Amino acid sequence: MADRPVNLNRARKRKARAERERKAQTNRALHGQTRAERDRERLARERADRAHRAADLAVSAVSFWEIAMLAAKGRIGVGLPLPKWRLDLLRSGLVEIALDGRLGIAAAELGGIHSDPADRMIVASARANGATLLTADQRILDWPGKLDRLDARL
């Protein structure tokens, strides 16, 4: 019985892919994220910093709640007591978009978006204020509804 021919090009690509994945796993273990993830995070921070310097950066109030919940679960840390951290951001020029009944109704009426209430409030806040939403949330990025958005991962 004859051995099957080996496609060397395919074998080289498979080996290169495995090596890239091994390096990514090593970076993730050493640094908590891969180089590509760090680069995406850096670019997202740069975009947000530019908007902040232009006094054109806003955040939905529900985002502070989401961050507080993540901090309470130990999934993130902000390095300061949360109330002080929030006030420092607001004093630096970040605009907080308050939630009200109008936004609550708009969030409930969003069609075709997933059911996460915080994400719905964030999308409704951006739409109501004519803002571009900078997000890394794949479900929001994939949502086909009317919303100006930028992928924070690019």
Domain count, the chain: 1
CA-CA-CA-CA torsion sign (63, 69, 74, 80) = positive
- Domain membership flag for residue 36: yes
Q: State the average pLDDT over residues 128-151.
A: 90
List Cβ neighbours of 83 (8 Å cut-off, separation of 6 or more). Answer: none
| Domain CATH code at residue 60 | 3.40.50
pTM of the complete model: 0.65
Q: Render pLDDT for 27-64 as a digit per residue (tens, 0 to 9).
A: 666 667 677 777 877 887 787 788 777 767 788 999 99
Give 60's strand partners: 97
> Domain of 45?
8-151
- Domain membership flag for residue 1: no
What is the spatial distance between Cα 40 and Cα 37, in angstroms, rounded to a whole number? 5
- Domain membership flag for residue 111: yes
- Domain membership flag for residue 60: yes
Give 20's strand partners: none
